[in-house]
């Protein structure tokens, strides 16, 4: 067994070749932890690791690292999303040290949504570094024990190097443009040091399959674990919203008609999700799924159970 | 060139104190070309102020070559001395230069200075350069990602680029990285996109310090 | 009665029947020594011979426009002046040469003064029958088409002997489209009349002539060997276009030739305007006439490709709406239409500016309408050959030709394009332009009328930003790297003033529309 | 109080429509003055604003119809500039002044008269409203 990168459950399961399930949780908008507890109890036994979003769509929420620490204390394994919008390289590295101190072992490096989508459109953006540079920075901290500025991560010159050890995640949107560049962009992130990838939510299965074929051709699936993102649609309003104003999500017309015609759109949404999981399990190079259930966390146990993925394997 | 836009007239009028003599000073270089603060706009603004309800006894207008050179500003001396407030229609640099040159006079801006850019066509100006002090245009086929990408990424495009447009404004805002990708592809140098660009050196930009350029050979 | 008529040119578009009190006018004419009759000349294009001979016999000649004729302006006025039908003649008038009558106060007093000055302006002191000049009074007319014959008859009726050099090619000109339709035999009648007039000699078409300038005129040795002296040459070739069979493209003239000869022009006909120059509103109206005719009589499917519907001439708007109701399709293309033309098979490709839909038209029959009709190229060449200084774009009209030759008797080449076409080209002919201004200044102090003049760029204030170069719809502005300012290409400029308005530095001025007097003019009006 | 109204018209359809209007016997009120330009494309914002400042209470810009401008797009530009000046007047709180564009064909004399007359009433109304 090569030396573990972070020792996280997610890493162990991925190394064992298990079909991994991760979920996503948006931390609360206030200091009331009740919402957090409800979501945790829903996701507790049906996901191997839970993403904590970092001020998703630029809307202020509890910091992802603080929420992650809360999960660790509950015995769960968080995946902390780190966006480049709000903090420069100094703040990010200090937050990473804090996260490692709090028991966080998985990091997801994302660029972060533009502040114009959120509740503070007049805020000054940072983007000192971008997601690829963030991946490289986290890997250098872990594998070479140095900060981005080059100094070693130790309390004093004579002290030992105690570097933060994270399993590095990155995101990729196979449906964005320029389409023919998307796999190369993935390769670039793998070269930068990504260990696992969570893709944008998949609706156009044909296009995703074509993307996966090219990933496998380039042998990237052996260098990085790819989790396919899924978001079950539970209302017409959500379908319309996803189709029109969320950039980079291609919902094929056939799927839209099927959902539109369904009597109980929630049940139909779940059925579609299960069919997608069936196909993804059979697809070469897909190491697992990432369930992004926006404020519908209760659906996760139903989906994972119905897909025959329960009980979740133990890392041991 | 520097591109600016006139402040909405309500803002200008609200900020104007009711004094006896107001001088509207136009600038004939950059802000004339981008139709914000030239002689033409100065005369229109002057007429608007005169007709508005503001109790300002007399409103005068004048336009000089540039407000960012002391030699041209000196031409305004007599007119400014007679004015209680000067409404400068120059870019930010001009307004501040005017204030330095006439410290005893209240100087107010009439424009919002926006960016350094190009004239794409008559009536359409586009931001082209941030002035980051560390140019890397050779990497991206002459298209600046820091300026033309909403997030200034160095390893773009991000996941929100669809149909060549940026997620911030999918209808009209070109994704800078999509342009870079297409041009590199047409130049046959697409593999350059694979090398990972390290984080930029922002210390040469304004983040480093307010900047100046001094040529010791010229400035004795 | 010293036989000197006073000529007042009246533009039908703006001439209002109840504005002019003819009694008082006729009375004031009677009092004047210079003028003995009031002649209001109309468009004599077709009726030149009758016009000129008629003038001698009539006491008052009304020349307005068809509109005035129809609404009985002439009969009503003649009755008021107690003139019998035999004593007056109503004929056509040249459209929009002058804008004479506007709402003014005290018109009668001013008109008399104007008429006085007109007398001198037009007839000056030159004695009509100056024998010494007679020797050089013979004129060679080069071209026996509509314009050439009209000119020859006009000169002959003034006692000038004329040689008409036959030329082959299509005799009729776009200018006389409407007339040719109503009266296909029009040209033949003119030729017969010319043959019967002993002062006109029709040289055989093969006669080649190589003129050499001599004192006071030209010596021309015709191929037959004998040399003759001429005071002036009137150059009036009809435009030479390749026959439709070869090029697949008709000019309007050829189209009417076809129709007049009864041959059918069916299928899809495309009228291609504005391709190499702006189409004059007058020419646009002729196109509407032709298109309506093609559709109504020939059941042809007509498409008109143009930058804009030039309906700024009175009466054109209804014609334009009527054409559209008849199903004539107007495509507004903005950039140049690519015409891939082999032998006769055209393919037209372009974008319709209004619907921004692309269009592709294969193998249409095309009417190519010339844009501004300046001086015919052959005339320039001949003038060049005779080392003569041409006075600008002087294209004379049949009606005023005899006056030009008669009054000035200068040796010169008077280039006469076809009657209507050259009128479009002759927009700013000195004689009528100065006349118009003289009348304008006196008759309408109320409104300030701005003549069109080429803009001037102020070199100090021009910011060299090239906005004018970008906005000019005619590409008439260009950058002058030497002076580092904008520069006007006078040949392309229409003096519409757009650049002056758009110029960020207000550095461009149309000469008498300059910012100072423009502002003063406005203030005077508003105060 | 007499409201000074200025009609700036183009020399093409604008002029012939005006003449046609007079030909049909209509008389413009004395407070209305006409000013002719080669094309309404020549009417720039300073011209409009300074005419208003010099005493005009309303300016009606009369140009050719949208697709009939002899200089292709002069009238469309004039419309945009008139709208821009009207917005500026509104935003600056100058209620009693107004600028408006009117498109005419060469022989729409009566329509032009109605437009000028309607505009004069609008200017007068705005004038009283402003004084009150």
Question: Can you read off the two tokens belonging to residue C71?
Answer: 């609404």
Distance from CA of C197 to the nearest CA of D (A): 42
Kindly state the percentage of chain C with pLDDT values over 70. Answer: 33
* Domain C131-239+374-425 grouped into CATH 3.50.50.60: yes
Residue D44 CB partners (closer than 8 Å, separation 6+): B40, C500, C501, C502, C506, D81
Are residues B107 and B8 part of one domain? Answer: yes
CATH number at residue B99: 3.40.50.2300
Q: What is the pLDDT of residue C26?
A: 56
With an 8 Å Cβ cutoff, are D46 and B48 in contact?
A: no
More confident residue, A256 or C87: A256
**D108 pLDDT above the threshold of 60:** yes
- Cβ-based contacts of C312 with chain D (< 8 Å): 12-13, 16, 64, 68-70, 106
Q: Where are the domains of chain A?
A: 9-306
What are the phi and psi torsion angles at D49 (to 5°)? -65, -40
B32 neighbourhood in chain C, CB within 8 Å: 463, 465, 504-505
pLDDT, residue B72, reads 93
Shared domain check, B97 and B146: no
At residue D17, does pLDDT exceed 90?
no
What number of CA atoms fall less than 13 Å from residue A175's CA on the CB side? Answer: 20
Q: Do B51 and D89 touch (CB under 8 A)?
A: yes
- Asked if C504 has any chain B CB less than 8 Å from its own CB, the reply is yes
Tell me how far apart the alpha carbons of residues B71 and B73 are, in angstroms, rounded to a whole number: 6
Q: Would you call B170 helix, strand, or coil by DSSP?
A: coil
pLDDT at A108: 97
- Tell whether B23 and B54 lie within a shared domain: yes
Most confident of B133-142, C46-55, C253-262: B133-142
pLDDT the model gives residue C227: 73
Name, in order, each residue with C-beta under 8 angstroms of A181's C-beta and a sequence gap of 6 or more.
B157, B181, B190, B193
pLDDT band at C262; cut points 50, 70, 90: low
Nearest-Cα distance to chain C for D121, in Å, is: 17
- Decide if C245-368 and C455-526 have a common fold: no
Residue C24's pLDDT is 55
Non-local (6+) Cβ contacts of C498 within 8 A are C471, C472, C473, D39, D41, D42, D71, D74, D77
> What confidence score (pLDDT) does residue C261 get?
63
Sequence-distant (≥ 6) Cβ neighbours of residue D121 within 8 angstroms: none
Q: CA-CA distances (angstroms) from residue A270 to A233, A265, C140, C190?
A: 8, 9, 97, 92
Element (H, E) at A59: none
Of B40, B49, B52, the CB nearest to D45: B40
| pLDDT at residue C336 tops 50 | yes
Residue C329 has a pLDDT of 84
Higher pLDDT, C238 or A128: A128
Does the structure show a pLDDT above 90 at C381? no
Asked if pLDDT for residue C2 goes beyond 80, the answer is: no
Query: Would the pLDDT of A190 be above 50?
Result: yes
* Closest C-alpha among D29, D39, D35, D41 to residue D4: D29
Please give the CATH topology (third level) of the domain spanning C245-368.
Answer: FAD/NAD(P)-binding domain (3.50.50)
pLDDT of residue C525: 76
* Residues ≥6 apart with Cβ < 8 Å to A210: none
- Asked if the model's pLDDT at residue C249 lies above 90, the reply is no
Return the pLDDT at B77: 93
CA distance C505 to C466: 11
* Nearest residue in C to D5, CA atom: C526
Per-residue pLDDT band for C20 (boundaries 50, 70, 90) equals very low
Q: Is the pLDDT of residue A212 over 70?
A: yes
**Predicted local distance difference test score (pLDDT) of residue A277:** 94
Picking from D46, D91, D97, the nearest residue to B44 by CB comes out as: D46
Q: Which candidate, A17, A23, A83, places its Cα nearest to that of A56?
A: A83
Instruction: Please check whether residues B98 and B138 belong to one and the same domain.
Output: no
Q: Which residue has the higher pLDDT, C345 or A154?
A: A154
| Mean pLDDT calculated for residue range C105-127 | 36
Q: Which structural domain, as residue segments, surrounds residue B34?
A: 2-114
The answer, for B122 touching chain C at a CB cutoff of 8 Å, is yes
Direct distance between the N- and C-terminal alpha carbons of chain A, in angstroms, rounded to an integer: 14
Which residues of chain B are under the pLDDT cut of 50? none
Distance CA A142, CA A136 (A): 10
Q: How far apart are CA D38 and CA D14, in angstroms?
A: 10
Q: Is the pLDDT of residue C43 over 70?
A: no
More confident residue, A70 or C440: A70
Quick one: pLDDT at residue C374? Answer: 39
Q: What is the band of C389 on the pLDDT scale with cuts at 50, 70, 90?
A: very low
E strands, B12-144, are: 21-27, 58-64, 85-88, 106-109, 111-121, 124-129
pLDDT band (50, 70, 90) for residue A48:
very high
Contact C44/C91 with Cβ under 8 angstroms? yes
The answer to which of B167-176, C243-252, C327-336 has the lowest mean pLDDT is C243-252
Considering only residues C365 and B171, tell me which one the structure prediction assigns the higher pLDDT.
Answer: B171
Give phi and psi for C463, each to the nearest 5: -90, 5
Domain at C455-526: CATH code: 3.30.70.20
- Residue C9: is its pLDDT beyond 60? no
Domain D5-127, classified CATH 3.40.50, yes or no: yes
**Which among C123-127, C332-336, D122-126 has the top mean pLDDT?**
D122-126
C321-335, C477-491, D58-72: range with lowest mean pLDDT: C321-335
pLDDT tens profile B43-88: 999 999 999 988 999 999 999 999 999 999 999 999 999 999 999 9
Name the burial class of residue C357, with classes exposed (0-12), middle (13-18) and buried (19+) by CB atoms within 10 angstroms of its CB. exposed
Domain residue ranges of chain C, discontinuous segments joined by +: 6-125, 131-239+374-425, 245-368, 455-526
The answer on pLDDT for A140 being more than 90 is yes
Residues 6+ apart with CB under 8 A from B188: none
Does residue A82 contact residue A108 with C-beta atoms inside 8 Å?
A: yes
Q: Give the CATH number of domain A9-306.
A: 3.20.20.220
pLDDT in tens, C58-115: 555 554 444 445 555 566 656 655 566 666 655 443 222 222 332 222 333 333 333 4
Residue B120 lies in a domain: no
The pLDDT score that the predictor gives to residue C237 is: 56
Q: How far is D32 from chain C (nearest CA, A)?
A: 9
* Number of CB atoms found within 10 A of residue A17's CB: 9
Least confident of C46-60, C104-118, C230-244: C104-118
Point out which residues pair with A110 in neighbouring strands: A83
Cβ within 8 Å, pair B44-D45? yes
The pLDDT, as a whole number, for residue C455 is: 84
The answer to whether the CB atoms of C501 and D77 lie below 8 A apart is: yes
Task: Write the Ramachandran bin of D89: left for phi over 0, alpha for psi from -120 to 50, otherwise beta.
Answer: alpha
Contacts of C316 in chain D (CB under 8 A): 106
Name the E strands within chain A: 20-25, 49-52, 78-83, 106-110, 167-172, 196-201, 225-230, 286-291
- Nearest CB to D53: which of B9, B40, B51? B51
Q: What is the length of chain A? A: 316
Name the residue with higher pLDDT: C267 or B178.
Answer: B178
pLDDT tens digit string along A81-92? 999 999 999 999
Q: Which of the residues C458, C468, C504 would you substitute to probe the B interface, choosing the one with the greatest number of B C-beta atoms within 10 Å?
A: C504
With CB atoms and an 8 Å threshold, state whether D49 touches B43. Answer: yes
Q: Quick: pLDDT tens for C437-467.
A: 433 333 333 334 444 567 889 998 899 999 9
Weakest-pLDDT range from A10-14, C310-314, C421-425, D25-29: C421-425
Q: In the numeric block, which tokens belong to residue C410?
A: 């200068």
Cβ-defined contact of B43 to D46 (cutoff 8 Å): yes
Q: Are residues B11 and B107 in the same domain?
A: yes
Q: Which one of B8, B40, B51 has the shortest CB-CB distance to D94?
A: B51
Q: Predicted confidence band at C420 (pLDDT cuts at 50, 70, 90)?
A: very low
Reported as a single tens digit per residue, the pLDDT across C134-177 is 334 577 776 776 667 766 776 676 667 788 876 554 444 444 44
On whether the CB atoms of residues B77 and D83 are closer than 8 A, the answer is no
Structure-model confidence comparison of residues D3 and C516, the more confident one: D3
Domain count, chain B: 2
What are the residues facing C232 on neighbouring strands? C139
CB contact under 8 A, A178 and B156: no
Is residue B165 within 8 A of residue B173, CB to CB? The reply is yes
| Average pLDDT taken over every residue of chain D | 88
Comparison of pLDDT for C208 and A253, the residue scoring more: A253
Structure tokens at C162: 């004329």
D46 shares contact with chain C (CB less than 8 Å): yes
State whether residue B157 sits within 8 Å of chain A by CB: yes
CB atoms within 10 A of CB C265: 19
Q: Which residues of B touch D53 (CB under 8 A)?
A: 47, 50-51
* pLDDT score of C393: 36
Residue B96 lies in a domain: yes
Pairing of strands C338-341, C346-351: antiparallel
């Amino acid at each position: 067994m090569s030396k573990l990168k972070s020792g996280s459950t997610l890493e162990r399961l991925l190394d064992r070749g298990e079909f991994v399930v991760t979920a996503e949780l948006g931390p609360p908008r206030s200091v009331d932890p009740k919402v957090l507890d409800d979501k945790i109890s829903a996701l507790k036994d049906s996901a191997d690791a839970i993403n904590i979003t970092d001020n998703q769509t630029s809307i202020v929420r509890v910091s992802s690292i603080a929420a992650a620490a809360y999960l660790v204390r509950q015995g769960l394994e968080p995946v902390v999303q780190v966006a480049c919008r709000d903090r420069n390289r100094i703040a990010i590295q200090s937050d990473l040290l804090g996260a490692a101190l709090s028991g966080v072992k998985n990091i997801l490096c994302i660029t972060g949504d533009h502040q114009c989508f959120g509740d503070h459109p007049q805020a000054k953006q940072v983007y000192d570094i971008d997601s690829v540079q963030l991946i490289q920075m986290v890997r250098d901290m872990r594998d070479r024990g140095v900060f981005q500025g080059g100094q070693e991560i130790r309390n004093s010159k004579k002290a030992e190097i105690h570097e933060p050890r994270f399993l590095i995640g990155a995101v990729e949107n196979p449906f964005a443009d320029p389409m023919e560049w998307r796999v190369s962009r993935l390769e670039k992130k793998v070269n930068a040091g990504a260990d696992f990838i969570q893709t944008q939510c998949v609706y156009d299965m044909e296009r995703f399959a074509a993307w996966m074929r090219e990933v496998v051709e380039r042998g990237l699936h052996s260098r990085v674990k790819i989790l396919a993102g899924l978001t079950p649609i539970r209302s017409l309003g959500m379908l319309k919203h996803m189709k029109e104003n969320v950039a980079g999500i291609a919902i094929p017309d056939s799927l839209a008609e099927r959902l539109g015609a369904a009597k109980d759109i929630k049940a139909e949404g779940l059925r579609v999700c299960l069919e997608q999981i069936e196909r993804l399990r059979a697809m070469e190079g897909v190491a697992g799924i990432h369930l992004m259930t926006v404020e519908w966390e209760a659906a996760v146990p139903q989906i994972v159970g119905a897909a025959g993925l329960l009980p979740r394997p133990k890392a041991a | 060139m520097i591109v600016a836009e006139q402040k909405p007239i309500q803002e200008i009028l609200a900020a104007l104190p009711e004094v006896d003599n107001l001088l509207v000073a136009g600038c004939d270089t950059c802000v004339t070309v981008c139709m914000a603060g030239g002689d033409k706009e100065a005369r229109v603004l002057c007429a608007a102020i005169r007709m508005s309800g503001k109790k300002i006894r007399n409103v005068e207008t004048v336009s000089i070559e540039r407000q960012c050179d002391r030699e041209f500003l000196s031409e305004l001396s007599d007119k400014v001395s007679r004015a209680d407030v000067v409404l400068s229609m120059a870019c930010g640099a001009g307004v501040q230069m005017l204030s330095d040159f006439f410290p005893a006079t209240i100087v107010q801006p009439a424009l919002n200075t926006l960016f350094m850019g190009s004239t794409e066509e008559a009536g359409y100006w586009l931001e082209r350069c941030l002035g980051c002090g560390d140019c890397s245009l050779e990497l991206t086929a002459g298209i600046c990602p820091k300026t033309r990408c909403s997030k200034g990424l160095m390893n773009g495009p991000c996941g929100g680029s669809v149909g060549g447009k940026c997620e911030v404004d999918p209808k009209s805002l070109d994704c800078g990285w999509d342009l870079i990708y297409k041009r590199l592809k047409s130049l046959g140098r697409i593999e350059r996109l694979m090398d990972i660009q390290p984080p930029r050196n922002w210390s040469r930009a304004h983040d480093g310090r307010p900047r100046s350029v001094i040529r010791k050979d010229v400035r004795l | 009665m010293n036989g000197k008529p006073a000529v007042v040119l009246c533009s039908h578009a703006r001439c209002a029947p109840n504005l002019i009190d003819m009694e008082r006018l006729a009375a004031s004419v009677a009092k004047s020594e210079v003028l003995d009759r009031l002649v209001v000349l109309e468009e004599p294009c077709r009726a030149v011979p009758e016009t000129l001979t008629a003038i001698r016999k009539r006491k008052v000649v009304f020349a307005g426009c068809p509109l005035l004729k129809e609404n009985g302006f002439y009969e009503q006025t003649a009755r008021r002046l107690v003139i019998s039908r035999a004593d007056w003649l109503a004929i056509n008038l040249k459209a929009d040469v002058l804008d004479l009558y506007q709402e003014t106060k005290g018109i009668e007093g001013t008109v008399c003064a104007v008429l006085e000055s007109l007398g001198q302006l037009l007839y000056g002191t030159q004695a009509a029958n100056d024998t010494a000049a007679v020797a050089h009074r013979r004129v060679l007319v080069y071209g026996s088409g509509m314009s050439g014959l009209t000119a020859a008859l006009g000169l002959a009726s003034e006692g000038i002997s004329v040689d008409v050099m036959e030329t082959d090619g299509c005799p009729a000109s776009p200018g006389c489209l409407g007339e040719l339709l109503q009266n296909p035999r029009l040209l033949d009648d003119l030729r017969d009349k010319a043959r019967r007039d002993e002062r006109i000699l029709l040289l055989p078409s093969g006669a080649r002539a190589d003129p050499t300038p001599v004192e006071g005129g030209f010596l021309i040795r015709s191929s037959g060997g004998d040399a003759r002296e001429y005071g002036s040459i009137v150059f009036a070739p009809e435009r030479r276009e390749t026959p439709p069979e070869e090029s697949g493209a008709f000019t309007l003239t050829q189209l009417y030739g076809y129709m007049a000869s009864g041959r059918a022009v069916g299928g899809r006909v495309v009228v291609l305007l504005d391709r190499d120059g702006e189409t004059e509103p007058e020419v646009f109206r002729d196109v509407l006439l032709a298109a309506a005719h093609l559709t109504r009589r020939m059941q042809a499917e007509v498409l008109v490709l143009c930058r804009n519907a030039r309906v700024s001439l009175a009466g054109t708007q209804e014609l334009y709406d009527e054409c559209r109701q008849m199903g004539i399709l107007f495509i507004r293309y903005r950039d140049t239409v690519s015409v891939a033309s082999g032998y006769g098979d055209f393919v037209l490709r372009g974008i319709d500016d209004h619907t921004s839909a692309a269009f592709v038209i294969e193998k249409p029959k095309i009417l190519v309408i010339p844009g501004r009709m300046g001086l015919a190229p052959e005339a320039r060449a001949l003038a060049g050959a005779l080392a003569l200084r041409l006075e600008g774009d002087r294209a004379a009209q049949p009606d005023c030709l005899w006056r030009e030759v008669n009054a000035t008797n200068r040796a010169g080449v008077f280039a006469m394009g076809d009657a209507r076409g050259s009128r479009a080209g002759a927009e700013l002919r000195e004689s009528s332009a100065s006349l118009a201004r003289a009348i304008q200044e006196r008759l309408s102090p109320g409104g300030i009328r701005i003549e069109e003049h080429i803009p001037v760029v102020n070199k100090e204030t021009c910011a060299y930003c090239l906005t004018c170069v970008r906005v000019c719809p005619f590409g008439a502005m260009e950058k002058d790297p030497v002076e580092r300012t904008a520069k006007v290409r006078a040949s392309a400029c229409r003096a519409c003033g757009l650049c002056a308005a758009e110029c960020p530095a207000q550095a461009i001025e149309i000469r008498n529309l300059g910012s100072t007097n423009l502002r003063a003019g406005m203030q005077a009006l508003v105060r | 109080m007499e409201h000074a109204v200025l009609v700036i018209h183009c020399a093409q359809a604008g002029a012939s429509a005006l003449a046609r209007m007079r030909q049909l016997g209509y008389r413009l009120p004395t407070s209305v003055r006409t000013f002719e330009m080669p094309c309404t494309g020549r009417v720039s914002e300073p011209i409009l604003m300074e005419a208003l400042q010099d005493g005009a209470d309303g300016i009606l810009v009369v140009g050719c119809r949208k697709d009939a401008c002899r200089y292709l797009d002069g009238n469309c530009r004039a419309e945009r500039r008139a709208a821009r000046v009207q917005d500026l007047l509104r935003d600056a709180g100058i209620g009693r002044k107004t600028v408006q564009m009117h498109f005419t064909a060469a022989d729409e004399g009566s329509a032009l008269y109605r437009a000028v007359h309607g505009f004069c009433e609008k200017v007068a109304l705005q004038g009283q409203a402003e004084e009150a």
